[in-house]
Chains A and B, each alone.
Chain A
């Protein structure tokens, strides 16, 4: 298993008191598998994604990522694990605005000391980005920025890709094209993919699909994953 989530609880403070977002969520994802995480707005999909990526800490439960228990790691340990093990793709692209597209593409791989220029060149070619690598992020369209963000996540050849609504800011045709590309490249890299989406149509293109409701995960048909 690349990631195992067991009985994870998470709540946030709010004006009305603490709001529980996850109440005993569990799932598992093996190498090369893809999983769509769906749910209503505010159901906790992004929160679960952030917990798995070590971006946030849980109140209770356990997450094991590539054989490492996240609960036992401090900020520096989680940062180190993210650098080499997790590729993140966000709806807002979140490129580094001060670096050009090429430097953004290679950023995490270089950060992790795993930069492979050939692999980056192949990724750029596969995503049709060759002519755009010297441009700054604000000189690229949304679709182009998202392709760079996906390339950045894949360049490090992570064990797990976490994608939060990666096509949410794109039109349907561009979104479909970007997802096809991502699935293809994830398969080539041998990574696992966990993607948060509102779209049933996009979710159907992944190997598995789970639904988050009332803080717990369930298959769409109501069975535990």
Chain B
């Protein structure tokens, strides 16, 4: 019985290969977009895990600086006091390479990093001499890494995080231009502590318990959450296609199912067979989708890696591995999505009485009722989104607002379109115009899922597009303010810095020293800068809010200005007090600091020097007429032997920053485009699957004297009108989405808020893209209708031949 039933059920797909293709393509695309995003996230998380456990961070206590930076002198003092500690110096070069300097002779065994054992046998001398370094194979594969370190022997160490170079601490000092600096001291657990910390050092050291450093995972969580949200959106859009195809297959097989029931097949057996059929389709489509996802992730990963590097300094390899986690999750989503899409049909099948009518009319009779119920549910979701906005907090509340907004609007869409089409019908004069509007309204039940998908795709495009364009516009203006100086110089040593300063002073308008130190700010690792009192800052610095005499206060050492991230995280209003080494200072200003995840504060240079007496100034900003920059750089090159990265001109930094910015949003741009493409496929497949059902509705018009060509033109126009109305509704939804992204999600995720700007030119382009997508989707069914043989149309009327 089962074999016969299955044969009867599966014969449907043989007769409707297009429907089968729709189902498989829809599910494969949905799974592909979802698993692609998951593959990227899995790769990045694996990289963070490697970073989190390097040098036994998860097993060893550390001594970290408090109040003033650590030095090699502190290390020596502790060793003399009997403390089994080992120094670590960590930092980044101008190219973003993370330098991890260790002292292998004192390094605790628990910190043994894979690759280091090799050092015990002869290479140790090279390592200690600063001629040997270790790095992950993918790091070594990057040509610029080896190119920038020609004097080093580079050896692969598989478990080091990407873009990390493990070197002797002496070499790290030179590479980072931080002589004598130590960022942390590892405490060997094998040797008990000889007692309390020496009294001279105790105030400046804090003992940090062993824990995996999940800082990167925390910092990048919002980025991955954004990607996951995009993946879910794309998956939802794909599932619309699947739902449409499965729904149609159920409807067209009602007759067969009724007959099978009448012939004695129990409802549960029938439901189980349909379920098995759907699971089989889900697994096949899911596997295709995972292959698509792998290709997508492999294509996008380099951009994502650049984004994570640019935004967070997180090193992620640009190459993708196959991980069981996302493959399993992809297949799971394919199965879950198929079951969700088919649940309604299976439920109806279980309850199908053997004598139920096979007439699909009942479906459209209840369409109006369904539409009203959907609209009510949509309004409830929109209200819930409003409540989450008003009363919620945190990133998840932001995403709850987004979900409620998008899902609510999608559910309200059919009712809104029905109202719009009804208004069109009321205004129409001619009989064809009236039929056009009435028929478009009649098509809504069959097309509403595809139109919802289009709405979501367009709204996401408007929303994310507005966010990116607002960001680009603000960011460009901000760069102009922030990078007001023409040149930025970094000397290798304080002595070189002094020499350059003396040489440059008579040749430029101003030499502005930039003093810099790392120190905890409001409980988080942060940076403090000391800047000169100069018009460069007074006139240009991008202050969001400030006391009237902010720069005077800063110059006199009576105040500090902080970046927006620090102000938001620590809840610092103007006038509030910020704890700093050497005593607290009131906040006199807050400035925008896009692209920087860390807290930052600025002091007057005198105040800075008093608070950080050991910090030597090796960086300068130079003011000079822009026309003289090239000549100055050439003269500087002749006077001093400076590496290329030591002199950065303003245009170079801007170009680099904008490049990082563009790559950051290349991924969202690609996902946006793919989502719109999927929505277009959803519309096409819905129209194609509806085409057969349309015939009985169109044939009477043809019989009464409307030519096939005219009917085809009307069909195409109907699709375009529905797409246009959907696009018009997507615009306000997209703007609301942009507002939530800029005012809620970004603030929670990155710590800064951007002013929202609108770009009507972009909307017009998107509208054109939406209409083009609808035209492509509507053209094929229209052409097929035009080329139909009269016999196909006559079959609607004919009882016999």
Contact = CB atoms under 8 A, between A and B. Distances in A.
A94 B801 contact: no
A62 interface: no
A79 interface: yes
Contacts of B699: 94
A81 to B, nearest CB: 8
A47 interface: yes
A146 B545 CA distance: 76
A46 interface: yes
Given A56-B791, A97-B364, A111-B432, A75 B707 contact: yes
Contacts of A41: 800
Interface stretch (B433-441, B532-540, B594-602): B433-441
Interface stretch (A29-37, A85-93, A121-129, A180-188): A85-93
Interface in A63-99: 75-76, 79-84, 88, 90-92, 94-99
A46 B705 CA distance: 18
B801 A44 contact: yes
Nearest to A165: B799
Contacts of A96: 435, 439, 697, 700-701
A46 B435 CA distance: 28
A52 to B, nearest CB: 13
A111 B790 contact: no
A94 B432 contact: no
Interface in A192-225: none
Given A55-B790, A56-B790, A47 B700 contact: no
B583 to A, nearest CB: 78
A153 B442 CA distance: 23
A98 B704 contact: no
A27 B615 CA distance: 112
B502 interface: no
A75 B702 CA distance: 10
Contacts of B361: 138
A75 B438 CA distance: 25
B699 to A, nearest CB: 7
Nearest to A75: B707
Say whether chain A's binding surface is mostly helix, strand, loop, or mixed.
mixed
A55 B438 CA distance: 25
B84 to A, nearest CB: 85
A75 B709 contact: yes
A103 B797 contact: no
B203 to A, nearest CB: 83
A112 B701 CA distance: 12
B708 A138 contact: no
A83 B361 CA distance: 28
A108 interface: yes
- Size category of the binding interface on chain B: 35 or more
A95 B801 contact: no
B707 A55 contact: no
Nearest to A83: B705
A42 interface: yes
Interface string B697-726: 101111111111100000000000000000
B800 A42 contact: yes
Interface in B756-801: 790-791, 793-794, 796-801
A46 B438 contact: no
A168 B435 CA distance: 28
Nearest to B707: A79
A97 B705 contact: no
A111 B705 contact: yes
Contact of A97 (B442, B791, B799): B442
B365 interface: yes
A50 B800 CA distance: 11
Nearest to B442: A98
B180 interface: no
A45 interface: yes
A107 B442 contact: no
30 contacts: A42-B800, A43-B800, A45-B800, A46-B799, A46-B801, A53-B703, A55-B797, A79-B706, A79-B707, A88-B797, A92-B696, A92-B799, A94-B696, A94-B700, A94-B797, A96-B697, A97-B697, A98-B438, A99-B439, A103-B431, A103-B435, A103-B438, A107-B431, A107-B704, A108-B705, A111-B431, A111-B705, A111-B706, A138-B361, A138-B364
Top-9 shortest CB links A-B: A83-B705, A98-B442, A110-B431, A82-B705, A98-B439, A98-B438, A79-B707, A94-B700, A108-B704
Given A50-B797, A79-B702, A103-B438, 6 more contacts: A12-B791, A47-B801, A76-B709, A91-B799, A94-B700, A96-B700
